[in-house]
A and B are shown apart, each in its own frame.
Chain A
Amino acid sequence: MFPSYTSNSRAKQILPFWFFIEGVLWFTPLWILILVFEVSMWRSGEILPLRLVARYQAQNESKIVFMRRYFDQGLYRLKYLSIQQQRPDVLILGTSRVMQIRREMFGMDRREVYNAGGMIQHLRDLGEFTASLDSSYYPRVVIIGVEPWWFNQKWAEMAEKDKHFLSMMFQDGSQDVFAHSAVFQSFIRSLFLGSGERQIIEDVFSGWQGSSNRGSLFLGFAALDKKTGFRPDGSLDYGHSVLPRSDWEFTDREAPPIIERIRLRKQGFEPVAGLSSASVDKLRINLKRLRSKGIMVICFAPPFSSESISAIENISDLNKFWHEYLTIIPILVNEEGGTYLDVSRPEKVGMDDRSMVDGMHAMETFHVALLKKMAEDPELRRILRLNQDRLIQILANKFSNFWFPKYQ
């Protein structure tokens, strides 16, 4: 089959190519597995570049939900690209605790609203994002969920070091060759050694079917499987099953429960004497920057469950900090021309712990109630173009439960 090395110079010339073909053929099983893996990842939307995800979500009317299972969601980049694509008039900023605010709450056709929850994890993110806003685009209004741990010096020093807006806005984990290798390794291990999650084998061999399902588009294996993920408006479709009213009771579903974090004084609840003055200054600078660009600012304190608040208030090395968070931040926001709403407990919007999915994440109905509270202020109602009657109707609708409101 292969030309003899000593036969002639022509044979010597073509030998490397024959050798290449020989090598490729012997490694065929590996190429097939890689091909199956990569095509499946692509067709399922798992490794679809985030710029395409943002574009599809911006351009399509139909429901396109995105959530990856094996690669990093790239929330910084996804939200940033979506903002660039959609140029929202009303922009919601904050952590996962603001992700349940939906466009539908403002009105069924309010395409100018975008939820960038998850893109602002700390004040460094907020600073870098606000600094990135230039004259080519400013939102008219920003709604910011201001977190207490942003002002916890011990937490902030660690959190702001590595992952921040400027370092993450260009990162798309699905485009990293080492990330692909690591996920491919999980697949190979499951396939040949039976170790790890069998789910990846099912996913890879089903992902070929593609990412559409009954007219909707689900991008990413988590979205395909659970029919949940990030909507075109940036909010997170949580997808939990609806419970009958008789079964509603508060359960802290976070792992570990928020109450444990508070008791162990970690993950944002590190003991500190009070608000970090440096962090307070950072917020002030950011508010000034937004005001100088003519952007209206509405801040709110996202809620905790009553047991979480009770724990914070009863811990001596946290309660002063908590008290300052609830008193100093509102004053600062008002001084800088913004509006502040304290909705740190569900009761502040007329709800209770049943509207919380865990100790610090409230679900959609809470946020409808939040907007209803905003709509009580004529100025906010005008700025956000809220329909107060509609919000009241949504909350009163018999099909609205503690988590999922009926919008129409």
Chain B
Amino acid sequence: MQFNNPFFIILFAVFFLLYWLFSWRVQNLLLVLASYAFYALWGWPAAIILLGVSLTAFMAGVGIERMKPRCLRLTVVVASLTALFLLLFYAKYGQFIGVGVNAIFSLFSNERQFDVFQILIFTGVSFFVLRGAGYILDVYWGRIYVTTDLVSFLAYISFFPQLLSGPIERASSLLPKLQNSRHLDREQAIDAVGQFIWGFFKKSVIADGMAIYIGQYYRDPSYSQGWELAAGTYMFAVQLYCDFSGYSDMALGLGRLLGFRGVSNFATPYFSQSVGEFWSRWHITLVSWFRDYVYVPMGGNRCGIGRKWINVMVVFGLSGLWHGTGWNYLWWGLINGMIFLAFSWMERDKTARVSTPAGEAMIPGVLSFGRMVVVFHLILFTWIFFRAGSAGDAFTIIGRITKAPIGPLSFYSGLVIPIGLTVFLFSLEWLQRRKEHVLSLGTWPVPLQWLTYLATTFLVACFGNFTHVPFIYFKF
């Protein structure tokens, strides 16, 4: 069940009323029950895996705290992380490897050597494994105190608004909130409703609306024209952003209605003026996770330029592998790494994120706008690998776009709706780029805020796509 399912909204409303009747300890228990029930809709084995990951991380934390010799503590860390990442590896790559092994054995024998048994794909496993792993490392490095409150820890790992596709909230951020009473602030709650509705709009109207066109063009790239593939790639950039950030907004809105202010996962990334800035604005929690738990422990940029380059390529390569099993995802990661390094070498110390994209001016300067366009197109190039069915398809697409990037006018006249939606989206995001989300209308009178949310809901009702289109990041 996804957040844009009307049935989910009804269930959440009932849960909301029940939740606020009780103290924080009972609230945590309700969160655990609701989260596991929510996840079990994907199958009870999934809920068991979730429990297994949670208990592994919890007991690892306790073990690290209680064992005094460093070697024992390290053993616990290594063993628990190995278990978690083996599970993740199995879930993502098990079938891929099984097919490969059979292919090798079939060279020697006509009989299949190994059964490629059905690998259960657990939606969200990539996310909650990182939450658990992050907790273990934070305890080991002394960044947080270990928790012995099992219920709040289970609630942290399984927190249903963030369970399936993040944000990957750190234990240091969410656990203390779970272990204290929480309150609902009316203005924040109204804003949370707006955030949820805006996320719903992005997913249902824009992302799912674009999906129809992209599917047509990308289905068989060898039969699509270069301009069709180019248009599809632009639309995919919008679809991916709206789908993922839409989910994040819905997740954050729901979390806020339960008293938790989560970490933002997107901050108008397509207005970035450098590649480094882009990666500080896109899937923020994943990027920061890889930075803090992979890049920095490997030495980061403290061990010389050569080592920095290796570390960056490793991080981007792992990020690619985290996203998917195909070679196209690895290509995506490595190409992004190379672009990042090239840009950071050219920009030196200008890769940091600025607080307001492209500055405070309402109309960006020519240079700012130019930089935004360049960065956008560099990222757009990498999205080809992300969307293509394989690395081969990606290169085919690039080849066809290069040969015929622009089509007849009649082709573009059929894209009025997606173009219109894109202009609408980016105009609003530009105007509201200082805010957490477009419908953050805190300075408006409350009745006007509600009316705006109602109007947006009617827009979703009129223009939303109500066929079952899963969130893109569910497959990761």
Instruction: Give A contacts to B, CB under 8 Å.
Output: 2, 5, 12-13, 15-20, 22-23, 26-27, 29-30, 177-178, 180-182, 184-185, 188-189, 192-193
Question: How far, in Å, is B401 (CB) from chain A's closest CB?
Answer: 32
Q: Are B13 and A20 in contact (CB under 8 A)?
A: yes
Determine the distance from Cα of A192 to Cα of B464 in the docked complex, in whole angstroms.
15
Chain B positions near chain A (C-beta within 8 angstroms) = 5-7, 13, 16-17, 19-20, 183-186, 189-190, 193, 447, 450-451, 453-454, 457-458, 461-462, 464, 466-468
B466 touches A5 (CB 8 A): no
Q: Is the CB of B462 within 8 A of A27?
A: no
A12 touches B183 (CB 8 A): yes
> Is the CB–CB distance between B193 and A30 below 8 Å?
no
Contacts of A13 in B (CB 8 A): 20
Shortest Cβ gap from A32 to chain B (Å) = 12
Name the residue of chain B whose CB is nearest to the CB of A181.
B466
CB pair B193 A184 closer than 8 Å: no
Query: What is the number of contacts between chain A and chain B, taking CB atoms within 8 Å?
Result: 66
Given A15-B184, A15-B186, 14 other A-B contacts at CB below 8 A?
A5-B186, A13-B20, A16-B17, A18-B186, A19-B184, A19-B186, A23-B450, A26-B450, A30-B458, A182-B466, A185-B462, A185-B464, A185-B466, A192-B458
A-chain residues with CB within 8 Å of residue B450 when the two chains form the complex: 22-23, 26
CA distance A26 to B190 in the complex (A): 11
Give Cα A185 to B465, complex, Å. Answer: 9
For B453, the chain A residues whose CB sits under 8 A away are 26
- A189 to B184, alpha carbons, bound, how many Å? 36
- Beta-carbon contact of A177 and B7 below 8 Å: yes
Q: Known contacts A20-B16, A29-B454; decide if A188 and B462 are in contact (CB<8 Å).
A: yes
Q: Are B461 and A185 in contact (CB under 8 A)?
A: yes
Q: Is B458 within 8 A of A188, CB to CB?
A: yes
| Across-interface contacts of A5 in B (CB, < 8 A) | 183, 185-186
Give 18 pairs: A residue, B residue, CB < 8 Å, sorted on A: A2-B186, A15-B186, A16-B16, A16-B19, A16-B20, A16-B189, A19-B184, A19-B190, A20-B16, A30-B457, A30-B461, A177-B5, A178-B467, A180-B6, A181-B464, A181-B466, A189-B462, A192-B462
Instruction: Report chain A residues within 8 Å CB of B447.
Output: 26
Instruction: Check B457–A27 contact: CB distance below 8 A.
Output: yes
Residue numbers in B under 8 Å from A193 (CB-CB): 462
B466 cross-chain contacts in A, Cβ below 8 A: 178, 181-182, 185
> What residue of chain B has the Cβ atom nearest to residue A28's Cβ?
B454
Contacts of B454 in A (CB 8 A): 26-27, 29-30
With A16-B16, A20-B17, A30-B457: A181-B6 Cβ-Cβ less than 8 Å: yes
Q: B467–A184 contact, CB under 8 A? A: no
Q: How far is the CB of B468 from chain A (nearest CB, A)?
A: 6
**Bound Cα distance A19, B258 (Å):** 12
Quick one: given A30-B454, A188-B458, are A23 and B193 in contact (CB under 8 Å)?
yes
Q: Provide the bound-state CA to CA distance between A291 and B464, in Å.
A: 52
